[in-house]
Amino acid sequence: MPHHNVLALLRGPGLGWLALLVLAAAVPSCRDESLMAIDADAERRLREASDSIREPASVPLLNQTESKYQGTPFTADSPGLNQPPTINPTAEELDYQARLKQKLDADRVIREVTSVSPPPPDAERFNLSKSFQYAIRKSIEYRVAEETYLLIALDLLIQQHIWSPRIFDTITPQVQGVTVNSAQSTALQLVNEFSARQKLPYGGEISASILAQASNELQEAVITGQTNSIDVALNLNIPLLRGAGLVAQEDLIQSKRNLVYGARAFEDFRRRFYIAVFGDYHDLVVQQQVIANTRAQVERLRLIVEREDALVESGRQVAFQADLAKQRALFIINNLATLEEIYKLAVDRFKLRIGYETDKAIVIEPEMLDLDAPTIDPGQAIASAFEWRLDLQNARDRVVDSRRKVDNARNAVLAGADFFATASLLNNPDFFNGVQLDDTFNNWAVGMAVDLPLDRTIEEVNVRKAQVLLEQVDRQFVFAQNTAAVEVRQAARRIDRALYTLSLQDKNIDIARNRQASIDAAPDRASPRDRTEAVDELARAENERARALREVQIAILEYLRQTGQLRVSDDGEIIAPPGLQVRYRRGPGLLAQPVGMPPA
C-alpha cells in the first residue's frame, strides 16, 4: 500500500473502513482468477510430466476433475454439524409384506426363459473401443486415479511457490490508550508491514521489509499530535555447514520426482484399467455365446423329447426313457435362466465399472480381440520387463530417494555455521510532503552464528534410521524385480496354457459333432441318454472353447503389460508395436470363427 494512503485512511476513518470492505469484497473474484491460473499451471506440469515419460495421452483434464462444491470461507452452523443424524428404525417400525403363495405355470415359465427378448429401442450400444472411451470419461475408478495424479502436481506447485519470491502485506488498524504529558488520551494507529522473501538455492534466505506506522493522538475528539515512522530492513542468512547445499531443496526435489512417479503410476494404471475393462467386456461376450449355445442345446433337447414322445405314443419306447430326456431338458432350461440372470448382473457391474447409469439399458456388441500369440524368449521378456515396466522404474528411483535421505541425515549431524547480514533504517517521514529517506543505512550488522555439535544424538539416530530405510527400499526393489520375473514367466505360461486349452476344445467340438452326426445317421441305435449326453458334450465343448478364446486374448494383453510393451490410446485402441497385428472378431457367432481370421 502506498505510504501516502496510510494517512488518508486516518484522516477519513469512515472512508477508510469503507475502502477495506470494498477490498475484502473484491478478494473472491481475485481468488477465482488465481484458481484458474493454478489450474492452468497444474495442467502444464502434468503435461510436461507425461511428455517426459513419452505418454502425452495420459493427462487428466482439469475441467473433468473440478469440484462442484466451491467452498465458503466460514462453515455454516447446523443442528447436525457435531452429531450427524442417523436413520435406523427398529424392527417394530418396519413393514414387511410376504408374497402370497401361488402355483406357477411351468409351461409359461419355460416359454419366458427360452424366448429371446429384443433390447429396448433406446438402449445404447457399446463395443470395445467405445467402452474404454466412456470409462475414461465417467468411471469413478479412473477419475480417482486422475485426481491422485493431479494432487501430486498441486503439491509441486506449493513447493515451487515456496521457492519463488513471496510478498506479504499486513495492515493493522487499532485504537489504543496512550498517556500524553501525564494525561490519558487515545490514539488511532495504522501499521502497514510490507515484506518480501526469497529462499536461496543452496540454503538460506534473503528478505526485505518496510514497516510504516502512522497514528493520530486524540483528546476529546480533537487531534493534538501526529506520529509517523517508517522502518526499512534487509536481512541475509546463508548456512555454510548444516542446511547448506541441495539439502535445502529436498522438498522441491522430491516433489518434482514425485510428479514423474505419478505420471508413471497413472500410465501403469491406464494399462491395467484397459485390461480390466476389456476383460469384463470379453466376459460379457463369452456369456452371450454361452447363452446362445445353451439355447441351441435346449432346442436340440426339445427335438429329442418330441421324438421320444412320438415313440412312446407308437408303443416303440417305454415312458421313462422319454421322461429322462424331458428331465434333462428341464435342467438345461433352469441353467439357461440362471445364465441369463448372471449375465444381467454382469452387465450391471460392467456399467458400474465404466460409469454408466445402471438404470439404463445397454447392448453389448459381439466383439472380441483376435491377437496373434507372441513368440516368447523368456530371458529377453524378463529383461524387457526390468527395463520398460514403469512400476519397476518407480521402485528403482525410490532407492535413489532413500540414498539422498541418508545424505541429508548426515548433513543434519554437522555443526551449524550461518553467515548473516542485516541493515535497517528508521526515519520519521512527513506523509503530507512525501517520504524523504536517506540512501544510507545507519544500523547494520554482519556476523557468523556457530552452533557447535555438542548434542547430535537425535540426528545420529536419524542417520541410522535412514540407513535402515534405505536397506528396506533396496530389498523391496529387488523383491519387485523378482516378482516381475515371476509374473512374466507366469504370463508366458498362461498364454501357452490358454492355447493348449483352445486346441483341446477344438478337438472336443469335432468329437462331439462326429458323435452327434453318427447318432443322427442311425437314431434307432442310440438311447435317449446317448442323445442327451451328445447334446450336452457339444454344448460344453463350445462353451469351453469360447472361454478359452477369451483367455488367450487376455493372456496376451497381460503378457504385453507385464513386459512393459502395452500401449493404449484414449480412443480405446491398442497402439501396436511392429509385428503385432490388431484384429477383431465381430458379429453373431464370432467365437465359432476360426482363429487368425482376416481383420474385420
Q: Can you give the CATH number for the domain in which 311 is found?
A: 1.20.1600.10
CB-based contact 328:300 (threshold 8 Å): no
CB-based contact 405:254 (threshold 8 Å): no
Within a domain: 42:
no
Angle at 367 between CA 364 and CA 372, to 5 degrees: 150
Phi/psi of residue 508, each to 5°?
-60, -40
Most confident of 13-22, 467-476, 530-539: 467-476
Within a domain: 588:
yes
Within a domain: 70:
no
Within a domain: 46:
no
Angle at 193 between CA 12 and CA 207, to 5 degrees: 160
Within a domain: 565:
yes
Q: Where are the beta strands (DSSP E) in 299-366?
A: 362-364
DSSP state letters, 452-499:
--S--HHHHHHHHHHHHHHHHHHHHHHHHHHHHHHHHHHHHHHHHHHH
pLDDT at 13: 41
Assigned C-alpha cell, 140 = 469413478
| For the chain, counts of helices (H) and of strands (E) | 12, 10
Most confident of 19-28, 53-62, 138-147, 294-303: 138-147
Contacts of 538 (CB under 8 A, 6+ apart): 297, 509, 512, 513, 515, 516
Contacts of 500 (CB under 8 A, 6+ apart): none
pLDDT at 570: 84
Number of domains present in the structure of the chain: 1
- When pLDDT is cut at 50, 70 and 90, the band that residue 223 belongs to is very low
Within a domain: 344:
yes
Instruction: Provide the residue range defining the domain that includes 357.
Output: 107-149+253-398+468-592
Within a domain: 407:
no
- When pLDDT is cut at 50, 70 and 90, the band that residue 12 belongs to is very low
| Stronger pLDDT, 212 or 361, i.e. the higher one | 361
In tens, the pLDDT along 108-164 reads 667 666 767 787 888 999 999 999 999 998 999 999 999 999 999 999 999 999 999
Within a domain: 307:
yes
